[in-house]
Amino acid sequence: MTSALRSLLGGALALLVALLVLGLAADLLGDPVSRQIGPEGDAAASAALRAALGLDAPWLERVLRPMLDLFRGDLGTSSWLRRPAGEAVAEALGVTLRLALLAWPVGLAAGAALGLALAALPARLARLPLLLLAVPGFVVAVVAVEVFAVGLGWVPAAGYAGLRSLLLPAALLAGALAVKLALILQDGLRAIATEPFAIFAEARGLSATRRLLAYRLLPASALLARFGALQAGYLLGGALVMETVFALPGLGRLAVLALQHGDLPLLRAAMLAAGTGFLVARFVAEAAQAALDPRPTAARIA
Amino acid sequence: MIRALPWLGLLALAGLAAWLLPDPLALSPHRLLPPSLDHPLGTDPLGRDVAARLLAAAPGSLGLALAGLGAGLALALATALPAAWLDGRPAGRALCGTAQALLSFPPLWLPLVVLALAGRGAGAQVLCVALVLWADLHWILRGEARRVLAEPFVEGARAIGFGPTAILAREVLPNLAGPLLWLGLVKLRAAVVLLATLAFLGLGAAPPAPSWGGMAAEARDWFLDAPWLLAAPAGAIAASLLLASTLAASLRGHLGLMPHPTRRSGS
């Protein structure tokens, strides 16, 4: 538990540093005012926008102000959307949360089932799903959207209009999660099968089902819990690719668009939301693993 | 190594084709032609030869991935060796803590920060790959270095008065050559996929310059009419990943290395 807490604190520190660096970088990225009004624009208009965005302050204040505002709960104003960045991020977070909540349990269950099935196969055959990893996720997503959404018209191809829009991206995310999880779980199950307690269970003449569930799946559940919770963090951190392919107004797409528009307050706010979600998921992952499998902590004390 | 021969043949073929194919940026009225003898992989909506573009994109896709991988390995070595030597002391812990901290970003978000700060140039892309790979490589190389540091010949080197730099450079580093080469081949997958994904998201090189991820993004709108536009970059990516993993598997057989280095990342 203490090590999980330590990594949570370390991660929070890293996130703060990243946010601070993004604040420092405002000047490096070019002037958002000349980007919006154009270099030959009206001088009075650019001065007004400059003052509205707080860009006329001395640079130290410009760097520190976002951090101070952050602690007061103010995430700043998006220079691209011209609205509070916190609001935009909260809306996008809703979409990403729904996507993740849909994909995660399905992927976890399918991965566990697939892992059990693969562990029953000969080792050579069970390596075949590794080939799937040679195809990047965005290629699979593009083919799926063109076939199922554009070609067959089963689900909407782009935009967010309720649950139906989330079905295909969630299925793709769940599939990717299931393959990764299955490969890790089958490795774990194979390793556990050679442990003395598993051999002893066989020698006692226990049924195959009971051996599989109580003597192999139970010890492997710590692995499952840790990896599963970590992946929840990844999904929450923004299924960037899926949100781009399906034009879903989620957190990842918001961050990519913010980067393309040079909108640092928005990128910073999205980063804060994604990073916090990821850190919480990782904390749960490590705490769950420690609870299910106390061995590593016991070894550290000894 | 025998298993890698067909792949090396493929590379030689690609080199030969680079000679014979037309200019990758030349526009022509022959738009969206299916694969034929004149255009082995067809043409795109602007009449450009897909095969020529695929090859022209290789330096920007595969080359930058290799450069980022090399930078990541160098960075990881520079932190892993001191961290292994200073194991448990504050300086060593600080190095490990920094590597650990980078793991607290969800995948693909660290590159967003890097690209926001460093622009869209080749250097920024290389930096993205290096930083994303660094933490994993650091932990693996640190473990390997600690294993070597416990060997009797290191004890011997200490006894005859070698300093830390000499021991790390002359005793530990040569013993890491095998793991380094193999890790590089294993991590090449992550590097290529990362760069292709960034290009697909529209965060890669600027449009006229071809990249495999960018070509896949352009192919989207034409998928139902011209599926070869997507198949070509996807095939190039898959072929280079399979080549790397074939080489890695045969190398592992030769060196008798450990089986699973990527377990902790989960990505």
pLDDT tens for A106-130 read: 999 999 899 888 888 877 777 777 7
Q: What is the pLDDT of residue A296?
A: 57
Could you tell me if A94 and A39 lie in one domain? no
Phi (first) and psi of residue A154, to 5 degrees: -70, -40
What per-residue confidence (pLDDT) applies to B9? 74
Same domain, A139 and A273: yes
Between these two residues, B112 and A237, which has the higher pLDDT value? B112
User: Which pLDDT does position B130 carry in this prediction?
Assistant: 93
Q: Are residues A115 and A12 in the same domain?
A: no
What is residue B264's predicted lDDT score, i.e. its pLDDT? Answer: 39
User: How many H-runs (helices) and E-runs (strands) does chain A carry?
Assistant: 15, 2
Query: Is the pLDDT assigned to residue A52 strictly greater than 70?
Result: no
Please give the pLDDT value at position A299.
Answer: 42
Among A17, A45, A71, the domain-final residue is A71
Report residue B221 as tokens.
């709108």
Q: What is the mean pLDDT of residues A97-109?
A: 91
CATH assignment of the domain containing A93: 1.10.3720.10
Residues 6+ apart with CB under 8 A from A65: A54, A57
Is the pLDDT at A298 greater than 60? The verdict is no
Instruction: Look at residue A246 and give its three-state secondary structure.
Output: coil
- Find all residues with CB under 8 Å of A273, minimum gap 6, and list them: A89, A93, A251
Inter-chain residue contact A264 with B219, CB threshold 8 Å: no
Give the pLDDT score at A75. Answer: 75
A22 to B113: CB separation less than 8 angstroms, yes or no: yes
Q: What is the mean pLDDT of residues A227-232?
A: 80
Domain B51-255 falls in which CATH fold?
MetI-like fold (1.10.3720)
Cross-chain CB nearest to A13 (options B101, B216, B242): B101
Q: How much of chain A, in percent, has pLDDT values that exceed 70?
A: 84
Please indicate, yes or no, whether residues A190 and A272 belong to a single structural domain of this protein: yes
Long-range CB contact pairs, B112-118, < 8 A, 24+: B112/A255, B112/A256, B112/A259, B112/A267, B112/A271, B112/B203, B113/A18, B113/A21, B113/A22, B113/A271, B115/A259, B115/B198, B115/B203, B116/A22, B116/A25, B116/A29, B116/A259, B116/A264, B116/A267, B117/A21, B117/A22, B117/A25, B117/A28
Q: Where does a domain end: A14, A40, A71?
A: A71
The vertex-A96 CA angle with A32 and A245, nearest 5°, equals 75
User: Which residues does chain B have within 8 Å of residue A18's beta carbon, measured at their own beta carbons?
Assistant: 105, 113
CB contact under 8 A, A274 and B203: no
Give the pLDDT confidence score for residue B62 in this predicted structure: 87
Distance (Å) from the C-alpha of residue B259 to the closest C-alpha of chain A? 11
The pLDDT of residue A66 is above 70: no
Q: What is the pLDDT of residue A106?
A: 93
Of B107, B117, B216, the CB nearest to A139: B216
Residue B266: what pLDDT? 35
Q: How far apart are CA B230 and CA A143, in angstroms?
A: 9
Q: Which residues of chain B have a CB within 8 Å of the CB of A231?
A: 266
User: Measured between beta carbons, which residues in chain A are less than 8 angstroms from residue B224?
Assistant: 146, 150-151
Residues 6+ apart with CB under 8 A from A279: A8, A11, A12, A15, A233, B104
pLDDT bin (cut points 50, 70, 90) of residue A213 is: confident
Which whole-number Å values give the CA distances from B187 to A58, A89, A127, B111, B182, in the listed order?
A: 44, 33, 18, 17, 9
CA distance B62 to chain A (A): 14
Encode pLDDT of A148-186 as tens digits.
Answer: 888 888 888 778 888 888 889 999 999 988 988 888 888
Q: Are residues A46 and A93 in the same domain?
A: no
**Which of B112, B116, B241 lies at the smallest CB-CB distance from A29?**
B116
A13 and A111 part of one domain: no
Q: How far apart are CA A100 and CA B56, in angstroms?
A: 38
A153 shares a domain with A15: no
The low-confidence residues of chain B, meaning pLDDT below 50, are: 259-267
**Does A273 fall in a domain?**
yes
CA–CA separation, A116 and B114 (whole Å): 40
> Given pLDDT bands bounded at 50, 70 and 90, which one contains residue A300?
very low
Quick one: pLDDT band at residue A271, thresholds 50, 70, 90? confident
What's the pLDDT score for residue A159?
A: 80
Least CB–CB distance from A259: residue in B115, B200, B230: B115
Q: Which domain holds residue A50?
A: 2-71
List CB contacts (< 8 A) between B93 and chain A: none
The CA-based angle B12-B14-B16, given to 5 degrees, is 70
- pLDDT recorded at residue A301: 41
Confidence (pLDDT) at B71: 95
